[in-house]
Amino acid sequence: MSATISAVRAREILDSGGRPTVEVDLWLSDGTVARSSVPSGTSTGRHEARELRDGDPERFAGDGVRTAVAHVRETIAPAVLGRSPFAQAELDAVLIELDGSADKSVLGANALLAVSTAAARAAASSSGLPLWRYLGGGTLLPLPMVNIISGGLHAEAGLAFQDFLILPVAATSFREALEWVAAVRRATAEILRGRGLSTLKATEGGFGPPLPGPEAALDLLVEAVARAGRAPGDEVALAIDVAASHFFRAGLYRPADAPDGLDACGLVDRLERLVDDYPIVSIEDGLAEDDWHGWELLSERLGGRVQILGDDLFTTNQARLGRGIEGGIANAVLVKMNQIGTLTETLGVIEQARVAGYAQVVSARSGETGDDFIADLAVGTAAGQIKIGSLAQSERLAKYNQLLRIEEQLGAEACYAGRAALAPLG
């Protein structure tokens, strides 16, 4: 394990939305080479680490990442050359210090994360280990939380809530879980077609039909699960990502079907009715990212019944998760590496959640590449749940397929997390 980093090259590539992102190739002195690229969100949280964009309106409407790429080449590469890729925490500490800002806005979280993950991949490969083994060697295949219907910023459907998802909680393997999901997705398309509604895909490969409100989307999912031959709730459960930060304006929640606006209490009442009426087991971002009082109310009212998952609320940030844990707010954390910018900090959040008894959901972004790092991250850390988008589009399938490969590699050792991964735990 004496190999050191011998070269780092960065480039601008395009993500699944046709927007620029950073890709890094990293070489070790023993000839190992590894490649990583970073994703990008649409419904980003205010407290995320900053991805650096050029702001040059002449290129990609300002979204170019040439500056971030230059930072890898001119600032990061010289500082990491000769360092050990096996000392991830030290390497990431160097990256964090080089940037020097609290939100990684100087060099860009996109520049930092590409190098951080490429180094881990190179270290795994140099050790002759699959990445998931190098990252911890868990044997738990995650329960996938799979998008079927999109709204919010991910579709132009008129639905305020962003994600309507299914969870194959009673499958006995990851492979079987995907078979069930594919059947439900097919059934959804058949129902939509039968009603003359669009089956055009939204950003994450789910459908974005024009539906009047969340109840209509959930009715559709229940019907599709049954049509696929599965028991709604017992075999395939439902989840929502409300992404409430994105319809919170001037102190009120303003979903399309409540034009006068709702306060936190009104929205929590509405969410409670949905939990009463549908087999929902997880609610993500039920309230806005800084509405801590609202989150307290939501956690009190529903935290004993369903998983209360913080995405924009926690932004994979140990300080924000710490505040949540202290206040008994939420019972699960969404984990997106690019919200924080280094692998070490991501692993820190997963560990912090585990110690506190919070469930962990490793997640992709709406803008993805073919990079499948998060599949290995989920298994390696035994996170228990993963959210990748729909069962469509190669940037999503890259991760699902990697999980199938890992399950095959694990053989008899593989254990599918299923319902047991959900909070409230136990």
Per annotation, catalytic residue among 48, 51, 204, 407? 204
Confirm or reject binding of residue 246 to ligand 2PG (CB under 6 A): no
Please spell the DSSP secondary structure of 185-220, one letter per residue: HHHHHHHHHHTT----B-TTSSB----SSHHHHHHH
- The mark string for 190-229 relative to ligand 2PG (x by CB under 6 A, - otherwise) is --------------x-------------------------
Q: How far is the CB of 345 from Mg ion (least distance, A)?
A: 19
Which CB atom, from 270 or from 365, has the smaller least distance to ligand 2PG? Answer: 365
Cα–Cα nearest to 333, from 318, 343, 341, 342? 318
The answer to whether the beta carbons of residues 248 and 160 sit under 8 Å apart is: no
Helix (H) or strand (E) holding 269: helix 264-277
Strands (E), 61-158: 140-141, 143-150
Choose the contact partner of 44 out of Mg ion, ligand 2PG, none; CB within 5 to 8 A by kind.
ligand 2PG
Which CB atom, from 162 or from 188, has the smaller least distance to ligand 2PG? Answer: 162
Name 303's bridge partners: none
2 Cβ neighbours under 8 A, 6+ residues apart: 29
Cα–Cα nearest to 145, from 303, 345, 367, 309? 309
Q: Which range in 39-47, 56-64, 77-85, 347-355 contacts ligand 2PG by CB under 6 A? A: 39-47
Which CB atom, from 134 or from 161, has the smaller least distance to Mg ion? Answer: 161
Which CB atom, from 66 or from 154, has the smaller least distance to ligand 2PG? Answer: 154
Cα–Cα nearest to 300, from 271, 280, 321, 279? 271
Confirm or reject binding of residue 163 to ligand 2PG (CB under 6 A): yes
φ, ψ dihedrals at 57, nearest 5°: -65, -15
Q: Which range in 26-34, 41-49, 104-112, 403-411 contacts ligand 2PG by CB under 6 A? A: 41-49
Confirm or reject binding of residue 243 to ligand 2PG (CB under 6 A): yes
Choose the contact partner of 392 out of Mg ion, ligand 2PG, none; CB within 5 to 8 A by kind.
none
337 Cβ neighbours under 8 A, 6+ residues apart: 38, 113, 117, 316, 343, 346, 373, 374, 377
Which CB atom, from 15 or from 241, has the smaller least distance to Mg ion? Answer: 241
Active-site annotation holds for 387: no
The answer to whether the beta carbons of residues 26 and 115 sit under 8 Å apart is: yes
The span from the CA of 393 to the CA of 205, in Å, is 6
Q: Which range in 8-16, 36-44, 104-112, 321-329 contacts ligand 2PG by CB under 6 A? A: 36-44
60 Cβ neighbours under 8 A, 6+ residues apart: 19, 20
Please select the residue that binds ligand 2PG; options are 241, 371, 376, 407, rule is CB under 6 A: 241
Which CB atom, from 185 or from 365, has the smaller least distance to ligand 2PG? Answer: 365
Contact residues for Mg ion (CB under 5 A)?
Answer: 241, 311
Cα–Cα nearest to 248, from 334, 365, 160? 160
Q: How far is the CB of 359 from ligand 2PG (least distance, A)?
A: 15
Task: Looking at residues 311 to 340 of the shown chain, list those that interact with ligand 2PG (rule: CB under 6 A).
Answer: 311
Total site size for ligand 2PG, rule CB under 6 A: 13
The span from the CA of 400 to the CA of 385, in Å, is 12
Active-site annotation holds for 336: yes
- The mark string for 268-307 relative to ligand 2PG (x by CB under 6 A, - otherwise) is ----------------------------------------
Which CB atom, from 28 or from 243, has the smaller least distance to ligand 2PG? Answer: 243
Per annotation, catalytic residue among 104, 289, 336, 387? 336
State the first-to-last Cα distance of the chain, in angstroms, to the nearest integer: 40
- The mark string for 344-373 relative to ligand 2PG (x by CB under 6 A, - otherwise) is -------------------x-xx-------
- Tokens 């319902």, residue located: 419
- Tokens 């132009």, residue located: 156
The span from the CA of 20 to the CA of 53, in Å, is 9
Q: How far is the CB of 242 from Mg ion (least distance, A)?
A: 8
Choose the contact partner of 117 out of ligand 2PG, Mg ion, none; CB within 5 to 8 A by kind.
none
Helix axis angle, 318-327 to 343-356, nearest 10°: 10
Q: Which residue is nearest to Mg ion (CB)?
A: 311
Judged by the rule CB under 6 A, the positions of this chain that interact with ligand 2PG are: 41-44, 162-163, 204, 241, 243, 311, 363, 365-366
> Residues with catalytic annotation?
204, 336
